[in-house]
Amino acid sequence: MRALVYTGPRQLDLQESPSPSPGAEEVIIRVAFAGICGSELSGYLGHNALRVPPLVMGHEFAGEIAALGADAQAQNPVLAEGQLVTANPLTYCGSCEFCARGMNQLCTTRQLIGAHRPGAYAEYVSVPAKLVMPLPAGMSLRTGALTEPAACGVRIGELAGPIDGQAALVIGAGPIGLLGLQALQAQGASRVFIADVDPARLAMGTTMGGEPIDPNSADVVQAVRDATDGYGVPVSVDAVGTTVTRAQCVGATRSTGTLILVGLHEETSAMPAAEIIRREIVVRGSFGYTPENFSEALQRLADDTMRLDPWVVEAPLAAGAEWFERLVNAPGDVSKVLLVP
């Protein structure tokens, strides 16, 4: 089969690779669409410790079941060959403390398809059967491939909690920022400020109902405080992950408010710890999603209450390297790139 292989920093090569065979508790999915995630961009740049070359990345995907392992249906009885499906790419043990609490994304032995095992930038991908979910009737494979990032948005909303009638801030109008914006709106936010240095991405956030702040011409923290009687917002989300954006979120969050960190652009950065302490700000990490978040995301996409259209772009797998470069340098008005093997 053809596969797009990460071979080193800023290097992706289309190669012929052996097609996978299903293990006893696995299924083989014929990939229809596989999205490019920001974490894969950092991997591509050599900044992500999870992604070690040579590697077939890709953890946001949908396709058709091509083969079932001998015990796959015992693991997941609803599966059948020919089914249109997506999959939760986070594997888990099912028995540790976190799995018992329904927080499988924090499993002590978790692994990620496309990082710890070959992913979906290929014609076929092997997936544990327990992670596979049939698409709702009438849902396209194109939409199904958006389930994984949508689940990240659902998780942001869950961590934010009810914010009826209050304001919120999202820094970063990439796919997770746009989905987080929608999640905060669903949680009852009366207004959501959205900031991004890319004018085209900022325009996408504005179209989705966000109130734009252009960091190129305005002080993000001051703009938020001016619009909230000097208090700041009760909930902020950093969907970028740099020293600057993390500090901006701290500055824009009101005392006792919550800052949700989801962006992973920089693995480490300085944080204004004294300000966090003195104003009793709660800082929460948001990693992935629970299985319940994933199911909810699939339903929200089916109900059209969460979306990334009309800015989703489809591109052939062979053009993957070109799109990685564009997304790193100047993404423009693109909310998600779906590679088509």
The CATH number for 178's domain is 3.40.50.720
* Largest Cα span, the chain: 63
Please report the pLDDT score of residue 5 as a whole number.
98
Q: Which residues touch 38 (CB under 8 Å, ≥6 apart)?
A: 174, 175, 176, 263, 264, 265
For residue 209, the model assigns a pLDDT of 97
Q: How many whole angstroms separate alpha carbon 297 and alpha carbon 285?
A: 19
- The answer to whether residue 274 is domain-embedded is yes
Note the pLDDT of residue 50: 85
Report if residue 294 sits inside a domain: no
279 shares a domain with 329: no
Q: Is the pLDDT of residue 47 over 90?
A: no
Are 230 and 316 members of one domain? no
Beta strands in the chain (DSSP E): 2-8, 11-16, 26-35, 60-68, 84-87, 90-91, 111-112, 124-128, 132-134, 167-171, 191-195, 211-213, 233-238, 253-261, 282-285, 312-316, 336-340
Domain shared by 141 and 248, yes or no: no
In the chain, the percentage of residues whose pLDDT exceeds 70 is 100
User: What local confidence, expressed as pLDDT, does residue 80 receive?
Assistant: 97
What is residue 236's predicted lDDT score, i.e. its pLDDT? 98
Q: What local confidence, expressed as pLDDT, does residue 95 receive? A: 94
Split at pLDDT 50, 70, 90, the class of 267 is confident
Average the pLDDT over each of 21-25, 145-149, 263-267, 307-311 and give the range with the smallest value.
263-267
The partner residues of 127 in beta bridges, in order of sequence, read 27
With contact defined as beta carbons under 8 Å apart, do 189 and 167 qualify? yes
pLDDT (tens digit per residue) in 81-136: 999 999 999 999 999 999 999 999 999 999 999 999 999 999 999 999 999 999 99
- Over residues 130-189, the pLDDT tens digits come to 999 999 999 999 999 999 999 999 999 999 999 999 999 999 999 999 999 999 999 999
What does the alpha-carbon distance between residue 214 and residue 194 come to, in Å, rounded to a whole number? 9
Percentage of the chain beyond pLDDT 90 is 95
Closest CA to 265 of 177, 184, 203, 336: 177
Query: Is residue 255 predicted with pLDDT exceeding 90?
Result: yes
> What's the structural domain count of the chain?
2
Same structural domain for residues 272 and 328? Answer: no
Alpha carbon 338 to its chain's center:
13
- pLDDT per residue as tens digits for the range 208-239: 999 999 999 999 999 999 999 999 999 999 99
In a domain, 53, yes or no: yes
Query: Per-residue pLDDT averaged across 251-256, rounded?
Result: 98
**Average pLDDT of 275-298?**
97
**What separation, in Å, do the N-terminal and C-terminal C-alpha atoms of the chain show?**
10
Considering the domain boundaries, does residue 293 fall inside one?
no
8 and 113 belong to one structural domain: yes
For the stretch 53-70, pLDDT in tens is 999 999 999 999 999 999
Query: Above 90 in pLDDT, residue 266?
Result: no
pLDDT at residue 244 greater than cutoff 90: yes
Residue with tokens 């300085």: 270
pLDDT given at position 185: 98
pLDDT value, residue 245: 98
Model confidence at 305, in pLDDT bands (50, 70, 90)?
A: very high
- Tell me whether residue 188 is in a domain: yes
- Angle, helices 291-303/147-160, rounded to nearest 10 degrees: 110
Which long-range CB contacts under 8 A does 197-202 form with residues at least 24 apart? 198/173, 198/330, 198/331, 198/332, 200/331, 200/332, 200/333, 201/173, 201/174, 201/331, 201/332, 201/333, 202/173
User: Of 307, 282, 105, nearest to 186 (Cα)?
Assistant: 307
Mean of pLDDT over the chain: 96
The runs of H, that is alpha helices, within 187-341 are 199-207, 220-226, 243-252, 273-278, 291-303, 320-329
Using pLDDT thresholds of 50, 70 and 90, give the confidence band for residue 21: very high
State the residue range of the domain holding 264.
155-285
Strands 26-35 and 336-340: antiparallel
Q: What is the CATH number of the domain that holds 113?
A: 3.90.180.10
The predicted structure's pLDDT at residue 48: 81
**pLDDT for the residue 49:** 80
What is the rounded CA–CA span in Å between residue 130 and residue 86? 12
